[in-house]
Chain A
Amino acid sequence: MFGFSRAQSIAFLAMVALIVICPYVLYPVFLMRILCMALFACAFNLMIGYVGLLSFGHAAFFGMGSYIAAWTMKNWQVDAVVAIALGGLTGAALGLVLGYLAIRRSGIYFAMITLALAQMVYFFCLQAPFTGGEDGIQQVPRGTLFGVFDLSNDMTMYWVVAIIFILGFLMVHRIIHSPFGQVLKGIRENEPRAISLGYRTDDYKLIAFVLSCLIAGVAGGTKALVFGIATLTDVHYATSGEVVLMTLLGGLGTVFGPIMGATVVVSMENYLAQFGAWVTVTQGVIFMICVLAFRRGIIGEIGGYLRLAL
């Protein structure tokens, strides 16, 4: 199924079961935040895990998706699915432009360029009139889905977010296991060889980047509807750092790692929120521990222990 191994199928079914059960036990809005960030992390993982490029500016696509979804929802009262789709398309369009520039360099430079370009997007959002500057776009209505389902109900919204998440997750998985994804992995392992085999590696990298940004935009748009707000935080580089942390903690290049990482990081932020800047310190410490002692991440370690690719 979708190129899942047996173990991955079991893990996937377990994840779906958890998604179905959890809203009856835990606060749905909290779970929706996890799902949005997990989708964002899956999008980021597509780049770092399978193309080997570390984008340090993914907040730009997440945040722009968030702004556009919130703006269209508030000003045009479009259907929720239209707002989220527009958010995704905005992420993809921005990804096409910024990606075209960034893929000219690789490695550390790619990270610095994406960071700098995202910073440019941040300053643009700070000044552009439609974003509401420091206030952001507030009190965005959730609207309805297909004109039928009223999303102001948390549980209805939850199921929509869950479906978007699962579709996005499966899309990433499908991309990775397609012939296209195999070429991406080939580029990651040995780019000169891929070029000598006749692949236009820059095109492949750019397409992967745009797909990743599309999903990041969808995640941002969904997040904007869930919380009814789109702010500068969404485009800030700290959000880029957060998605790096989630993916690193869960396991770079693992299928379920980003989801595990997002769950841990969002939960941690939730419980540590009252301690102010200690959230930042804790995140920094986790970063350092992950890099120094724990490079495979949670899922990578579990997978290594069980000798399975999760």
Chain B
Amino acid sequence: MFMIFGIPGPLLFGQLLLGLINGAFYAMLSLGLAVIFGMLNIINFAHGALFMMGAFVSWMLLTYVGIGYFPSLILAPLIVGIFGLLLEKTIISRLYKLDHLYGLLLTFGLALVIEGLFRNAYGSSGMPYRIPSVLQGATNLGFMYMPNYRGWVVLVAVVVCLATWAIIEKTSLGATLRAATENAPLVQAFGVDVPRLITLTYAGGVALAAFAGVLAAPIYSVNPNMGTNFINTVFAVVVIGGMGSIMGSIVTGFALGVIEGLTKVFYPQASATVVFLVMVIVLLTRPRGLFGKAA
């Protein structure tokens, strides 16, 4: 067995991989938060609850309907996305003229309702979700054994993040979106249906969270608290990255996951708090966040 900095290599790489996986979820969640914040000026506190909902919908599809993992990757985000669309149309759209804090309070209440309902129905112990047979097993990479599913999650997350980035930065739809973020009335004057764009943005961000939830289902047990455990850390990630840049959110998410993984190797006691410590350092040196724009 070879050693790196006095740490067995497999242990180090194993934790790095775990860090990358957490980072993948941080990236997908903070990306959705950033996109929604850009358009709606709302911090979607219900993001964690909708992530959990994504995992639960895929579990329900498998348990009640017999629909497997791969169709769920499309279906669950679609279902949760439609739910998000209805939420935006009926409730959230009433808040745009108010102080931004009301959006935060409303979505916080929404998160409580969603989590409470799932806890009533399924308890908080959690349900297992089997890894699909194609992705079971592990591959020998030479320096470590990598469980196939974990490699798959990192790969898919990177692809989805880059695709989102490409849609927003490189397509004409994305250009309209960015323009509407900068100056909505002007874009509307050009004949773009901005309210519809806002609705679709919210649904898209929510679907992204649900997609992350489906990916997470086989790794963590499907339980009503799984979103909350993530979302508090994701808020710190968002503060560190600043919400100005899409690529910034992705990079920050992955990087913090890796830092967390490494901390687990070298100083496990601090692994739960290291993201928050990074946030403190960033606040002291660059209060606007690493990729934040001037206020």
A residues within 8 Å of B by Cβ? Answer: 54, 56, 101-102, 104-105, 107-109, 111-113, 115-117, 119-120, 123-124, 126-127, 237, 241, 244, 248, 276-281, 283-288, 290-292, 295
Contact = CB atoms under 8 A, between A and B. Distances in A.
Given A120-B273, A291-B95, A108 B43 contact: yes
B109 interface: yes
Contacts of A102: 283
B91 A119 contact: no
B135 to A, nearest CB: 32
Contacts of B100: 107-108
A113 B232 CA distance: 10
B175 interface: no
B236 A116 contact: yes
Contacts of B284: 101
A108 B101 contact: yes
Contacts of B113: 280-281, 284-285, 288
Contact of B116 (A123, A237, A277, A295): A277
Interface in B73-101: 91, 94-95, 98, 100-101
B219 interface: no
Contacts of A127: 269, 272
Contacts of B104: 54, 56, 108, 111
A209 to B, nearest CB: 15
Given A285-B113, A291-B105, A116 B276 contact: yes
Interface of chain A, main secondary structure: helix
B110 A116 contact: no
A82 to B, nearest CB: 30
Interface of B: 37, 43, 91, 94-95, 98, 100-102, 104-106, 108-117, 119-120, 232-233, 235-236, 238-239, 269, 272-273, 276-277, 279-280, 283-284, 287
Given A116-B239, A119-B236, A292 B106 contact: yes
A54 B106 CA distance: 14
8 contacts: A101-B280, A113-B279, A120-B277, A244-B105, A277-B119, A278-B116, A284-B113, A291-B106
B235 A116 contact: yes
Contact of A119 (B108, B110, B119, B232): B232
Given A280-B116, A280-B119, A295-B98, 4 more contacts: A101-B284, A111-B43, A117-B280, A291-B106
Contacts of B239: 105, 109, 112-113, 116
Given A54-B101, A104-B283, A119-B232, A288 B109 contact: yes
